[in-house]
Amino acid sequence: LRIALPRARACGVQAEALKKAQGKLRQVTATRRVSTAVSGMDELALRSSLARAREHNVEHGIVEEAEGALKRIAAINSLAAAVCGSDENALEQALDRARGAGVQGDSLAEGREALARLKASRELSAASDAGDQHGLEAAIARAKVAGVSTSEVHVAESVAARMAARTQLEDAAACGDLVAL
C-alpha cells in the first residue's frame, strides 16, 4: 500500500479510492504496531499503539489482546513494586491482581516467595516477643526455609539461645544441681 498509493495518485485514481486505501494503510500499520507492542511488553508503546489501534478501527480481537497485555504489564509492575516492599497485604493484593490478569511464571513465583518471607519474618518476630522457646525454634526453621535475612535469623537464634540458657539455669536451680549451676 505504501508503494501503491503514490503510484495510484500519479495515475489519477479517484480521491475516494485513495482515501479508502490510506485508511486501510493506517489500519494495517496500527495493527502491526499494536502486535509488536504486545510482544515487546512495553507499557508506554502499548498504550500509544492501542490508542492508534482504536482510532483506526483495528480488529476487535487484536484490541482486546492488547488490553489484556496492558493489564498483565500493569499487574507485573505492581507486583514487582510490592515484592520490594514490606507490606504483606499490598503483596497479597498484587498477587491476586496478577493472577486475575493472567500473569504466570517467574513473576508470580517471586511474589509468592516474597510473601512467604514476609510471613515468616512476621512469625519470627512474634515468636521472639512471645518468649516461647519451642515456638521460636520452629519459627527460625520456617524463616530459614523461606529465605528470611540471615541477620534477622541470627538475632532470633540469639534470643532462642538466651531462652535455652535461662531454662537450663532455672532447671538446675530447681533441682539443686550444683554442677549444672
Distance of alpha carbon 151 from the chain centroid = 25
pLDDT on residue 136:
95
pLDDT on residue 155:
95
Dmax (CA) of the chain: 114
Per-residue pLDDT tens digits for 85-137: 999 999 999 999 999 999 999 999 999 999 999 999 999 999 999 989 999 99
Amino acid, res. 172: A
Residues of the chain with pLDDT under 50: none
User: What is d(CA 163, CA 171) in angstroms, rounded to the nearest whole number?
Assistant: 12
User: What is d(CA 38, CA 58) in angstroms, rounded to the nearest whole number?
Assistant: 14
pLDDT on residue 38:
82
Evaluate whether 146 touches 177 at the Cβ level (below 8 Å).
no
pLDDT on residue 115:
97
pLDDT on residue 2:
62
User: What is d(CA 12, CA 26) in angstroms, rounded to the nearest whole number?
Assistant: 21
Ordered alpha helix ranges (H), the chain:
4-10, 15-40, 43-55, 60-84, 88-100, 106-130, 133-146, 150-175
Q: Work out whether the CA dihedral 51, 53, 54, 60 comes out positive or negative.
A: negative
